[in-house]
Amino acid sequence: MRIHRTGIALTLALSFVPACRSASVAHRPANSIRVASDPIETRSRKNSTASAPQTAKSADGTVVGSETDRLSANDVRDSATVQAQLDTVQQVSAEAINDASVAPVSTIPVNRFSIQSAVETALAQNPDLNSLRQAEGVGSATVGVAQTYPFNPFVQVRSTPYQRNTSGGSGSTFHYVLLMQQIQLGHQQQHREESACAALNSIRWNVLQAELLNVAQTERLYFAAVYQRGLRDLANINAENNRQLLVILKRQLEEGQSTAADVAIVRLDARSTRQQQRIAEANLQTALLDLKRHLGLPPEMPLELDDDIIRWTWRPAESSQLAEMATTRPDVMAARADVDTARANTNLANANRIPDVQIGPFYSRDDFGTVFLGFQGQMDLPVNNSGIPLLRQREAELNQRAVTSNNLATRARLEAIAAANRYERARQLMLENGDAPQAALPVELQRLEEQFKAGEVDILRVLQARNSLLQNQRADLDALNELLQAAVAVTASTGTPLESLTVSGVLQPDGTTLE
């Protein structure tokens, strides 16, 4: 808003420059106030009044007509001159507007998105997040599998209806029934459940990390679009000022009050600013397309960004506190969950070194009618495979996951400290800039315009002052963009939301803050 008001003030100042170069115009009747408000017309009235004769003489030298008649004749000539000049200015202005290629106003309803609503939309509609969240269901099912005992009891039945015994017998049919169950003695069930639960925790932490990165990317794209919009507004103000200045100088050139070199310089400047205006508009549309793609919105959907960002007040950040918060970042917690998974797998490999036992009741009856009832059991002998190679592999994996987790925690702390330092530098830069440059430069510009009115400086000095103003506003935009991007870096590296970095507290869905 400050940039917009300054641009309007600068436009009005440049519009009144030609009128101030001439002397003050004499008092006019009440019916001439309407046309005296135009600077070009005021100058024309001054020129026509200065060139008009004081008296009209006949051929013999006598004075003809009264003073009222002479004033009426001058007013008629002034009115005709003013109307011709107004027609010329309107024609030149129409040509300049056509050259600027102003886009037609769209009647499509525009959706205003605050940063909070953009984050909520991205979390709800981002396709990558929606796909990643499905992994949690897989992890939950894995826990259910781990909680289920893997071995079922088995039964074995044997019967010999045909049997031949040369020594005779009771005539009974030989048969037996064996029921057995495999039993694990190393508490493998507990280790499998621990491994599955740790893997589920890792999945959930990874989902949270993806959501955090999604929030940071949304903020980054949103702030980039806000920055490009500010650049576009500056380009529009600059192009409009050059257009108006070109119209004024063309009129001065026709009246002999300006040089062709000045008009050529301003024409080149106007052409350059129109090109910059088109480039800035293209960059803004590209930034908006990136934001809409990230939010899962259709590309043809109009989108208007919030203006409250420039009014946010930012609180200082403690690097040590942010470094501690970085150790609980979702990706660090996911790495710790991977360590728990590797530790559970190591314990499972160690437990598998104890052979399983298969045991169960046994019933048998032979062909002599003898009945046998008892138990049968079996187990593997760890001769060829003692389980030590698999245990060493799991231990190496555990060591690898532990080193990765420690290194990731260290890197997270360093990233948090770097982000905090960048944020503090950007915040201090904004505090040092404040509003002093925006308040001081228009005063200097007004002084320069007064010198231009007195004929002490040329149009190049006015152009230079205006460019200095635009460069100052561009520097303010760059400082604001750096602060916003630094805040995004703090969010991405520590998980700290923007609400924690603003003095006012909680950001509302409409982009405002609560005290």
Q: Evaluate if residue 88 carries a pLDDT over 90.
A: no
- Tell me the pLDDT tens digit for each residue of 373-431: 999 999 989 888 889 999 999 999 999 999 999 999 999 999 999 999 999 999 998 88
Show the CA angle centred on residue 310, arms to residues 306 and 300, nearest 5°. Answer: 25
382 within domain boundaries: yes
Mean pLDDT confidence for 199-211:
95
d(CA 126, CA 293): 9
Specify the pLDDT at position 263. 80
Residue 332 lies in a domain: no
Question: Is 161 within the bounds of a domain?
Answer: yes
Block residue for tokens 């320069």:
448
Residues across the chain: 515
Higher pLDDT, 150 or 470: 150
The answer to whether residue 96 is domain-embedded is no
pLDDT at 170: 60
**pLDDT score of 66:** 40
Reply yes or no on whether the pLDDT at 4 is more than 70: no
pLDDT attached to residue 75: 44
Q: Is residue 286 part of a domain?
A: no
If you average pLDDT over residues 327-337, what whole number do you get?
94
Q: Could you tell me the residue range of the domain that residue 162 belongs to?
A: 150-183+356-386
Triad 415, 421, 423: Cα angle to 5°: 100
Indicate whether 63 pLDDT > 50. no
Total domains, the chain: 1
pLDDT tens readout for residues 215-266 = 999 999 999 999 999 999 989 988 887 787 788 778 877 877 777 887 888 7
Q: With contact defined as beta carbons under 8 Å apart, do 206 and 375 qualify?
A: no
**What pLDDT sits at residue 225?**
94
With a CB cutoff of 8 Å and minimum separation 6, the contacts of 28 are 36, 45
Q: 488 near 223, Cβ under 8 Å?
A: yes
pLDDT tens for each residue of 428-487: 988 887 643 443 446 666 676 666 555 566 667 777 777 778 888 888 889 999 999 999
Residue 459 and residue 266 in contact, taking contact as beta carbons nearer than 8 Å? yes
Mean pLDDT (the chain) is 76
- Highest mean pLDDT out of 59-68, 85-94, 424-433: 424-433
DSSP 8-state secondary structure symbol assigned to residue 30: G
CA of 135: how far to CAs of 126, 128, 131, 139, in Å? 15, 12, 8, 6
| Domain presence at residue 165 | yes
Please tell me the predicted confidence (pLDDT) of residue 212.
94
Is 107 among the domain residues? no
- pTM score, two decimals? 0.67
- For residue 405, give every residue at least 6 positions away whose Cβ sits within 8 Å of its Cβ, in sequence order, or none: 332, 335, 336, 338, 339
Q: For residue 168, what pLDDT is reported?
A: 61
pLDDT tens for 92-143 read: 334 433 443 444 434 445 567 888 889 999 999 888 898 999 999 999 999 9
